[in-house]
Amino acid sequence: MKNMRPLVAPAALASLLACASVQAQQNIAKVGVTYYQTRSETGGLNVDPPAAGAALAGSDVESGNATTVIFVYERRFTPNFGAEIVLGVPPEIDGNATGPLADLLQRLGQSSTVLTAKNVAPTLLFNYYFLEPESPWRPYVGAGINYTYFADIESSIPGADIDMSDSWGWAVQAGLSYAVSKQWGLFASVTRVDVKSDVTARATLTLPTPIGPQNVPVTVKTEIDFKPVTYQIGVWYAF
């Protein structure tokens, strides 16, 4: 047993240093590019007054896509588990009219982009990393919550006033991390986010009536389910 002591001490020291090395790299900063792709749906447009609703029956709104830059801070609590906060330069999302409303705007010489808003969407995710910390390739999955606030809301319709509600929803992601060195690496991920907003638009439209075209004050309400999927790629730095 006396001969074992010189071996136990170095082994314990090596284990302690290994743990310290892991603990020293608990903070990770990421920067990358994300493509924000929406698959929006609405329950249709609720239009008031009813006469205007009849003229615009079958109209709807489709949201567009965007590309922006993201910044991520991740805290690793263990080699396999961590939490990250995702922030980014707010992308500009368009809402484009379809159906009779788009036709009406075209006849009036106006753009069919009835809605433009910047999407401010901080997201908190908890990630689980597979494989050993020493592995250069580490797939991971994550889940968390997203808050979306719509800012700088504008419309191509002159005099239009548009309100959009905030959104709270779940977020899930799957990704892959590649360590180029102990401190630098690359990552790629795909995230599905639950984003919905109640939209109320007030505007004066020139609509056909029995006595000819008339300027009619119109209120339009709908809920947009954006169903966004985001695709990220970038670099990370551990410190």
- Domains of the chain are 26-41+63-195+226-238 (2.40.160.20)
Of all helices (H) and strands (E), which one includes residue 13?
Answer: helix 5-23
Reported as a pLDDT band with limits 50, 70 and 90, residue 192 is very high
pTM summary value: 0.81
For residue 90, the 8-state DSSP code is: P
Q: Provide mean pLDDT across the span 147-175.
A: 94
The neighbouring-strand residues paired with 168 are 147
As given in the structure block, the two tokens for residue 121 are: 């969407």
Indicate if the pLDDT at residue 116 is higher than 90.
yes
pLDDT digits (tens, 9 = 90+) for 33-62: 999 999 998 888 888 888 777 778 888 889
pLDDT beyond 70 at 19: no
CA-CA distance, 40 to 59, in Å (whole number)? 14
Does residue 111 contact residue 96 with C-beta atoms inside 8 Å?
Answer: no
**pLDDT score of 74 more than 50:** yes
% pLDDT > 90, the chain: 63
Q: Over range 144-164, report the average pLDDT.
A: 93
Given this model, what pLDDT does residue 130 score? 97
**C-alpha angle with apex 94: 89 to 98, nearest 5 degrees?**
165
pLDDT of 47 reads 86
Cβ atoms < 10 Å from Cβ of 104: 19
Q: What is the pLDDT of residue 6?
A: 45
Position 110 scores a pLDDT of 82
Judged on CB neighbours under 10 Å (0-12, 13-18, 19+), 47 is buried
Mean pLDDT (whole number) for 60-79: 95
The pLDDT assigned to 208 comes to 67
Q: Where do the DSSP E strands lie in the chain?
A: 27-37, 41-42, 46-48, 60-63, 66-76, 81-88, 92-98, 113-120, 123-129, 137-154, 161-164, 167-179, 184-193, 196-207, 214-225, 229-238
Residue linked to tokens 């003229």: 55
Q: Quick one: pLDDT at residue 25?
A: 53
Asked whether residue 76 carries a pLDDT value surpassing 70, the answer given is: yes
Q: In this model, does residue 87 exceed pLDDT 50? A: yes
- Position 216 scores a pLDDT of 82
Read off the tokens for 96.
Answer: 């484009």
Q: Which long-range contacts (CB under 8 A, 24 or more apart) does 130-138 make?
A: 130/80, 132/79, 133/22, 133/79, 133/80, 136/178, 136/179, 136/180, 137/176, 137/177, 137/178, 138/176, 138/177, 138/178, 138/179
Q: What is the mean pLDDT of residues 83-104?
A: 92
Q: How confident is the model at residue 100 (pLDDT cuts 50, 70, 90)?
A: confident
Q: Indicate the average pLDDT of the chain.
A: 87
Q: Work out the average pLDDT over 129-154.
A: 96
pLDDT at 53: 76
Q: Letter for the amino acid at 49? A: P
* Eight-state DSSP code of residue 109: T
